Amino acid sequence: MASPMQINTEVLTDRLSVRFGPVRDFQVFDEDNCDTVVVIFEDERRALVRFRTHEAGVTPGGQTSMASEEATMGYLRRFTNVPVLDVLWYDNDADRGVGGEWMVLEHLGVSLQDKWVDMSIEQRRKLASGIAEIWSELVQPEFDGIGSLWRTQDTFRVGPVAPTSSADALNAQDVNRGPFYHPEDWLVALASGQLGSRSSVPPTPVEDDCMAQVADSLRDSPSLGNADKHLPIGLQHANLHVGNILVDPEDPSVIVAVTNWEGARTAPLWAIQPRFLVPPQATREEILDWQKLIREAVGSLAPDWLQCTGQEEPWRLYRKLHKMAQDSRIFINLSPVRRAFEESLGRDVASVAIT
């Protein structure tokens, strides 16, 4: 096996063998997912192994992103019916022998990516209902702040937003990663680049200035003054695509697990805007029909979320401001945005795209 992410596979093999028995081989789990592999033991048992290099960074409190991922899965197992893989072992690699923290997960099902094309219309409709049930549980407003989930001695708490990349973790000790109890603080931190960037390339001086201007605009926005009164908070899976849905190989309409909870975090319902999976080899019309089907199904189970992601105010405005914070690096000319804030008290920011 090629060493994923500079992991020392010899040390990993030794440690897996001590705890689970002799290792025969490793296989690729997903061509697009280099941080997860399948381990095959000599007795034919299989498990998944996920990695996270030490360079991925930590929160100011010293917590790692994989620790948050493991806590999120533990929370879901204890308090919801969302199907997740059982964590068989978690190791923070304290001696750095492996090269990164790692955890062993049970091996269940097959990727929806591999089954979609051969599924019947009826199977896809049943699958949509299953996805809707999962999503509706995630968006139940159960949390008191915005951040990532972490374990405490005997339960779970919302704590700082976990870093999800090495770029995200740069200067992690010097920034505010939460938890946040008012959306203005969260959006300002997001716009300032304190919660990470979609790009691994450091911002240019122009982009730095732009991010600062967006953060100032959000900080001064009267529209966010009462946003804490509209703050039902749910749990967001950051990357719910077909590769992260595992289904029964005999009946792919049955979901056996949702994987890859790295980056999951609590967020206001109005900021949780999924694309509801893009089916492989689907036409644009098929994608839109599929996404509409699931949205309607989720809405019937979670009406609060449906309202928060609709076109009514103040939800529509909050989503505009969220989009503005996410894309702060590219807001080179802010004068139209500032005028909108001043002239309409932030009711309509015309230059910000709505997701």
* pLDDT attached to residue 354: 34
User: Which pLDDT belongs to residue 60?
Assistant: 55
In a domain, 204, yes or no: no
* Spatial distance between the Cα atoms of 274 and 119, rounded to a whole number of angstroms: 23
Mean pLDDT across 256-260: 96
In 42-175, beta strands by DSSP E: 46-53, 87-91, 100-106, 110-111, 148-151, 156-159
pLDDT of residue 339: 46
Query: Does the residue 90 lie in any domain?
Result: yes
Is the pLDDT confidence value at 215 over 70?
yes
The answer on pLDDT for 256 being more than 90 is: yes
CATH number of the domain where residue 64 is located: 3.30.200.20
- C-alpha separations of 132 from 117, 150, 233, 248, 314 in Å: 20, 26, 18, 17, 25
Label residue 7 by pLDDT band (50, 70, 90).
confident
- Between residues 173 and 139, which one has the greater pLDDT? 139
Pick the more confident residue, 8 or 230: 8
Least confident range from 145-159, 169-183, 279-293, 305-319: namely 169-183
Q: Does 67 reside within a domain?
A: yes
Contacts of 43 (CB under 8 A, 6+ apart): 21
- Is 44 domain-assigned? yes
Task: Please count the structural domains in the chain.
Answer: 1
Q: What is the pLDDT of residue 337?
A: 53
Q: Which DSSP category does 201 fall into? A: S
183 occurs within a structural domain:
no
In a domain, 86, yes or no: yes
Mean pLDDT of the chain: 84
Q: What are phi and psi of 97, to 5 degrees?
A: -70, -40
353, pLDDT greater than 50: no
**Which range is least confidently modeled, 15-24, 224-233, 235-244?**
224-233
10 Å CB burial of residue 157 (0-12, 13-18, 19+) is middle
> Which one has a higher pLDDT value, 129 or 278?
129
Domain carrying residue 18: 8-106
- Residue 77 has what pLDDT? 96
pLDDT at 177 over 70: yes
| Domain membership flag for residue 22 | yes
Residue 70 CA to residue 98 CA, distance in Å, equals 18
Q: What is the pLDDT of residue 53?
A: 81
| Residue 331 confidence (pLDDT) | 67
Which pLDDT score is estimated for 167? 45
Q: What is the pLDDT of residue 185?
A: 93
In one letter, which amino acid is 218?
A: L
User: Does residue 354 belong to any structural domain of this protein?
Assistant: no
